[in-house]
């Protein structure tokens, strides 16, 4: 039976006393013994053994999320090097910031390394087609150097950086004076810019890079990707490196020939157009257009490829909408199109005052125009944009 909520005449202070006693007791006891899992390894004082102990205690290896991360093959062991050492692979583009649980990935790496890290091993880090979506946040990058077993750093014989790109150069530059300083200039870091270079260290039949990486040379001959290799070497973590930027056809938004020796390339998710200088720009631009066109034609009919509308395209797009609908058989649509035309010319200062009048009395009284003003509007748009 529910108790009455009516006032019983009890002193309000008397009501508060039990709660005050409870608050005092809780303050004395302190926080719960079993902290939330995340808080237990958030401190940078965490060691490799402590981290592994906590993960094991919570049976994280049995969780579905852990099994899912393992199935992504972000990190795996396969094959041996020419020196006879087991080779591990980290595929950077498969890690998605905000989607992949970093702590579970770290635990997966520790468990995968565990049977091998007490003896010599080698590591391949594949940076093909990576970007900011695949980065480690600063605190997580730092945690790798704390949580991974020290013996692993002692026994790693080589870390091969495969297809270093422009994004990685900027990312390492940001951290090379702090977190990445201990490995700057380290001779164990070996940058690989071609498959042939990789073969110097690992035989072809022992190379276990993903198909999307190894088939890149074939893709470049076909319709699905372009690879831009820097003409000159640049410094990355103290090493002189050739950068390889890979872009798939689906990411190419626009390519423009500026002059005989320069062209720009607009890529989805890039901050702005990329500018390139080359002696044979015309051929390169035509090849890129061909790759993009071939990709579009290869897509199913149900997939519609929409070009992104840029701010400078807005006036022309609105103008086309108005002109196309002026010939409609629907009087209401013709009226709306004519009024849109008036608004476009006024808003973007096309200077044809007196040639257009708002249609306020319906389509029957809409002013008539010949083709000359329309041609004049189009010419003005081309000159200004």
Place of tokens 């808080």: 39
Please indicate, yes or no, whether residues 229 and 330 belong to a single structural domain of this protein.
no
Taking the C-alpha atoms of residue 381 and residue 113, their distance in angstroms, rounded to an integer, is 63
Domain end, chosen from 217, 242, 267, is at 242
pLDDT of residue 2: 40
pTM above 0.75, yes or no: no
pLDDT of residue 363: 45
What are the tokens at 320? 């086309």
Q: How much is the average pLDDT of 160-184?
A: 93
Closest residue by Cα to residue 113 from 148, 162, 70, 63: 148
pLDDT of residue 384: 53
Please indicate, yes or no, whether residues 105 and 220 belong to a single structural domain of this protein.
yes
Domain end, chosen from 222, 242, 262, is at 242
Q: How much is the average pLDDT of 67-92?
A: 96
CATH of the domain at 284: 2.30.29.30
Q: Would you say 110 and 71 are in contact if contact means Cβ atoms under 8 Å apart?
A: no
Taking the C-alpha atoms of residue 244 and residue 146, their distance in angstroms, rounded to an integer, is 30
350-352-353-354 Cα dihedral, nearest 10 degrees: -160
Q: Which of 10-19, 36-45, 231-240 tops mean pLDDT? A: 231-240
* Bridge partners of residue 80, in order along the sequence: 86
Number of domains in the chain: 3
Please indicate, yes or no, whether residues 173 and 62 belong to a single structural domain of this protein.
yes
Distances in Å between the Cα of 221 and the Cα atoms of 95, 127, 168, 196, 375 are: 28, 21, 25, 17, 43
pLDDT tens for each residue of 22-59:
666 565 555 554 444 444 444 444 566 788 788 888 78
Taking the C-alpha atoms of residue 199 and residue 214, their distance in angstroms, rounded to an integer, is 12
Q: In this predicted model, which residue has the larger pLDDT, 155 or 1? A: 155
Which residues neighbour 96 within 8 Å (Cβ) at sequence distance 6 or greater? 133, 134
pLDDT of residue 261: 86
Give the orientation angle of helix 371-384 with respect to helix 314-325, to 10 degrees.
Answer: 170
3-state helix, strand, coil in the chain (%, to 5): 45, 15, 35
- Mean pLDDT for the chain overall: 79
Q: Would you say 133 and 99 are in contact if contact means Cβ atoms under 8 Å apart?
A: no
SS3 83: coil
In a domain, 373, yes or no: no
In a domain, 375, yes or no: no
pLDDT of residue 274: 85
pLDDT tens for each residue of 191-213:
998 889 999 999 999 999 998 88
Please indicate, yes or no, whether residues 59 and 199 belong to a single structural domain of this protein.
yes
Please indicate, yes or no, whether residues 321 and 295 belong to a single structural domain of this protein.
no
Q: How much is the average pLDDT of 149-169?
A: 93
- Does residue 170 surpass a pLDDT of 60? yes
Instruction: Give the phi and the psi of residue 182 in degrees, each rounded to 5.
Output: -60, -25
pLDDT of residue 106: 93
- Does residue 70 surpass a pLDDT of 60? yes
Instruction: Give the phi and the psi of residue 256 in degrees, each rounded to 5.
Output: -130, 130
SS3 247: strand
Please indicate, yes or no, whether residues 122 and 137 belong to a single structural domain of this protein.
yes
Q: How much is the average pLDDT of 307-332?
A: 76
In a domain, 363, yes or no: no
What are the tokens at 308? 């992104």
Q: Which of 46-60, 178-192, 216-230, 290-304 tops mean pLDDT? A: 178-192
Closest residue by Cα to residue 367 from 358, 379, 378, 380: 358
- Does residue 146 surpass a pLDDT of 60? yes
| Strand segments (E) across 216-309 | 225-229, 234-236, 239-241, 244-248, 252-259, 262-267, 274-277
pLDDT of residue 307: 63
Domain range for 318: 313-348
Question: 16-20, 51-55, 109-113, 118-122: which has the minimum mean pLDDT?
Answer: 16-20
Question: 50-54, 85-89, 189-193, 380-384: which has the minimum mean pLDDT?
Answer: 380-384
pLDDT of residue 47: 65
Please indicate, yes or no, whether residues 149 and 283 belong to a single structural domain of this protein.
no
pLDDT band at 360 (very low <50, low <70, confident <90, very high): very low
Domain end, chosen from 193, 209, 242, is at 242
Please indicate, yes or no, whether residues 236 and 262 belong to a single structural domain of this protein.
no
Please indicate, yes or no, whether residues 83 and 165 belong to a single structural domain of this protein.
yes
First to last CA, the chain: 78
Q: How much is the average pLDDT of 309-326?
A: 77
């Amino acid at each position: 039976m529910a108790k009455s909520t009516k006032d019983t005449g009890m002193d309000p202070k008397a009501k508060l006393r039990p709660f005050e006693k409870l608050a005092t007791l809780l303050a004395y006891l302190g926080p719960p013994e079993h902290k939330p899992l995340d808080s237990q390894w958030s401190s940078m004082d965490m060691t490799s053994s402590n981290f592994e102990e906590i993960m094991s205690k919570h049976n994280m290896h049995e969780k579905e999320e852990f099994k899912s991360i393992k199935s992504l093959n972000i990190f795996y062991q396969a094959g041996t090097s020419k020196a006879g050492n087991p080779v591990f692979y980290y595929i950077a583009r498969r890690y998605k910031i905000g989607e992949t649980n970093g702590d579970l990935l770290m635990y997966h790496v520790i468990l995968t390394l565990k049977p091998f890290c007490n003896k010599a091993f080698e590591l391949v880090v594949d940076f093909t087609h990576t970007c900011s979506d695949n980065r480690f946040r600063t605190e997580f990058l730092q945690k790798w150097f704390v949580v991974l077993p020290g013996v692993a750093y002692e026994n790693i014989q080589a870390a091969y950086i495969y297809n270093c790109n422009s994004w990685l150069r900027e990312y390492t530059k940001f951290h090379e004076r702090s977190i990445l300083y201990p490995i700057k200039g380290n001779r164990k870091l070996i940058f690989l810019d071609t498959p042939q270079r990789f073969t110097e260290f690992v035989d072809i039949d022992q190379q276990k890079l993903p198909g999307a990486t190894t088939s890149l040379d074939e893709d470049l001959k076909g319709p699905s990707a372009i690879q831009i290799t820097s003409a000159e070497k640049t410094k990355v973590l103290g090493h002189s490196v050739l950068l390889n930027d890979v872009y798939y056809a689906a990411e190419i938004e626009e390519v423009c020939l500026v002059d005989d020796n320069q062209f720009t390339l607009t890529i989805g998710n890039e901050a702005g157009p990329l500018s390139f200088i080359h002696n044979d720009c015309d051929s390169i631009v035509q090849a890129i257009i061909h790759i993009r066109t071939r990709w579009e034609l290869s897509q199913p009919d149900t997939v519609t490829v929409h070009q992104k509308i840029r701010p400078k395209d807005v006036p022309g797009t609105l103008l086309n909408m108005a002109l196309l609908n002026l010939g409609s058989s629907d009087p209401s649509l013709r009226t709306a199109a004519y009024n849109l035309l008036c608004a476009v010319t006024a808003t973007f200062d096309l200077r044809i005052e007196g040639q257009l009048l708002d249609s306020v009395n319906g389509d029957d009284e809409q002013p008539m125009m010949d083709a000359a003003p329309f041609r004049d509007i189009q010419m003005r748009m081309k000159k200004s944009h």
